[in-house]
Amino acid sequence: MADIQSLLATNERISRDLLAKNADQIDQSRKFPRENVQALGKAGLFGLLVPPQYGGSGATLADMSKVIEAQAENCASTAMVMLMHYCSSAAIAAKGENAMKERLLPPIARGEHLTTLAFSEAGSGGHFYMPVSEVRMNGVQKRLTASKSFVTSAGEADSYVVSTRKAGASGPTDVNLYVLPKGATGFTTAGHFEGLGLAGNASGPMKLEDVAIEDSTRLGPEGSGFQSMLEVVLPHFQIGVASVSLGIATAAFHTITAHVGARKYEHAGGAALASIPRVQFLEAEMAVELNSSQAYLGETIRKALGGDPAAMIDVLGVKVKAADACLAVVSRAMTLGGGWAFGRRGGLERMFRDAQAASVMAPASDVLKDFIGKACLGLPLF
Ligand SMILES: Cc1cc2nc3c(=O)[nH]c(=O)nc-3n(C[C@H](O)[C@H](O)[C@H](O)COP(=O)(O)OP(=O)(O)OC[C@H]3O[C@@H](n4cnc5c(N)ncnc54)[C@H](O)[C@@H]3O)c2cc1C
């Protein structure tokens, strides 16, 4: 088990050397970033959030944010695969029974087991915390038929944290989470999305057809799934998606800053694009967006780790802010990149497409604003 500082340094090195090298090829081929993911796993990064007693690093949300941001700066598809793995492994570590933890966490820590979340269903869309599928009793046996609309690492991950209403649920939040292995009978991928961005993260629908459900695969007590989503998955997901957005925005900012300095005009005696006041103005706008969002992310993490009761509003808000900032930065970078960026050079066009995912990934920015507004007004969220 590596100490956290050396793990962060290793993550930066792999991100810079390997993820950056493969990013365009992954985007164009739309292939799952297997080489990147394997290298990260081998280096101990699958076990980032796994407690040390199971061979992991027991890292915090702050460490996870740094890891994801560095990955996203170089390959956002890989960062999203890793983020879903972190959300899922955190849920297993926090809510799994001892036998499950002993079975799953050591192989995760060794980099041999990739996991992910299978929450979203077409029937509830972005309101992923309210699945419409429900466990049915067949005699004494529990069975599940469900249509999961959007799963990162679909068919690639070794296990899936699946949400569904418990048998005989009294309402849409009467939910269980189960950890199902890849290849469970009746559990299959159902095609791919040709997503606008994050082309390599193997997002796609999955189907569960009359899958046998064992109680031993459940996370937490019966009916506790909704609470687990809010307590464990949501903070990791929100802070992680914000980190992906800031990684993309940082890469776009550095790329365009280098370009406007290097782009020279013969007709103007070799003056650089950077010498034009409007370009400097856009550069300033990008820097302000990026720096203020980074400060908000740092403050949110500080509050969340300190158990501040006011953290929840920021945990909801930080994904909205980072997604908006990222869109603002990449669209200005595309403008300043002109034909060079439009011609798919420098990777800006890929970053522009990758940046679009964060605001629609559930909870979408609009849904989050709905929650934040209600919370500010003291109204119930659900
Ligand atoms: C790249 C990517 C990877 C993903 N990976 C996973 C994964 O690994 N696991 C997983 O479970 N899911 C995953 N998802 C699914 C994701 O989290 C959402 O569930 C999905 O994108 C929601 O899509 P939808 O079209 O059904 O949204 P809809 O529910 O149709 O919402 C569409 C829009 O309607 C508006 N809207 C809806 N409800 C409200 C409201 N209450 N208030 C205000 N506005 C509202 C919002 O603008 C929203 O964006 C992924 C999605 C993407 C894009």
81 Cβ below 6 A of ligand 1 = no
Going by C-alpha positions, the residue among 327, 341, 353, 334 that lies closest to residue 249 is 327
Query: Are 169 and 192 in contact, with CB atoms under 8 Å apart?
Result: no
Q: How far is the CA of 197 from the centre of ligand 1 (A)?
A: 15
Query: CB within 8 A of 167, min separation 6: which ones?
Result: 134, 135, 136, 137, 142
> Quick check: 61 and 336 in contact, CB under 8 A?
no
Q: What is the pLDDT of residue 309?
A: 87
Contact 91, 161 (CB under 8 A): yes
CA 361 vs. chain centroid, Å, equals 9
What pLDDT band is residue 135 in, cutting at 50, 70 and 90?
very high
Specify the pLDDT at position 246: 98
Residue 47, C-beta contacts closer than 8 angstroms, at least 6 positions apart: 1, 54, 55, 56, 57, 89, 105, 108, 109, 110, 111
Tally the residues of the chain. 382
The residue among 191 and 218 whose pLDDT is bigger is: 218
Assess contact for 84 and 153: CB atoms under 8 A.
Answer: yes
Q: For the chain, count helices (H), then strands (E).
A: 13, 10
Question: Do 98 and 143 touch, CB atoms closer than 8 A?
Answer: no
Ligand 1 contact, 294 CB (< 6 A):
no
| Ligand 1 centre distance from Cα of residue 364 (Å) | 6
Say whether 43 sits in a helix, a strand or coil.
coil
Tell me which DSSP letter residue 364 carries. P
Distance 198 CA to ligand 1 centre (A): 15
Helix (H/G/I), strand (E/B), else coil: 120: coil
pLDDT above 90 covers a percentage of the chain that reads 95
Give the pLDDT band (50/70/90) at residue 2: low
Q: CB–CB of 217/225 below 8 Å? A: no
Pocket of ligand 1 contains residue 178 by CB under 6 Å: no
The residues pairing with 213 across neighbouring beta strands, listed in sequence order, are: 142
- Separation CA 338–CA 25 (nearest Å): 23
Mean pLDDT, residues 135-141: 94
The string of pLDDT tens digits covering residues 111-133 is 999 999 999 999 999 888 899 99
**How many Cβ atoms sit within 10 Å of the Cβ of residue 277?**
7
Q: Is 117 in the pocket of ligand 1 (CB under 6 A)?
A: yes
Residue 1 has pLDDT above 60, yes or no: no
| CB-based contact 168:192 (threshold 8 Å) | no
CA of 212 to the centre of ligand 1 (A): 28
Q: Identify the H or E element spanning 320.
A: helix 311-342
Omega of the bond prior to 51 within 30 degrees of 0, cis?
no
pLDDT at 332: 98
Per-residue pLDDT of 22-72, as tens digits, reads: 999 999 999 999 999 999 999 999 999 999 999 999 999 999 999 999 999
Contact in structure between 316 and 241 (CB atoms under 8 Å): no
Cα(354) to centroid of ligand 1, in Å? Answer: 15
Cβ-Cβ contacts under 8 Å for 188 (sequence gap 6 or more):
206, 207, 209
Any atom of ligand 1 within 6 Å of the Cβ of 203 = yes
User: Is 85 in contact with 116 (CB distance < 8 Å)?
Assistant: yes
Please report the atom of ligand 1 found closest to the CA of residue 120: 11
Alpha-carbon gap, residue 169 to 348, rounded angstroms: 47
Average pLDDT, the chain: 96
3-state secondary structure of 48: coil
Q: Cα–Cα distance between 27 and 299 in angstroms, integer?
A: 33
Q: How confident is the model over 321-343, as a mean pLDDT?
A: 97
Neighbours of 222 (CB within 10 A): 11
- Dump pLDDT digits (tens) for 231-281: 999 999 999 999 999 999 999 999 999 999 999 999 999 999 999 999 999
Name which residue sits closest to atom 39 of ligand 1, judged by CA. 367
- According to DSSP, the residues that pair with 116 across neighbouring strands are 160
CB neighbours of residue 270 within 10 Å: 8
> Rounded distance, CA 200 to CA 23, Å?
9
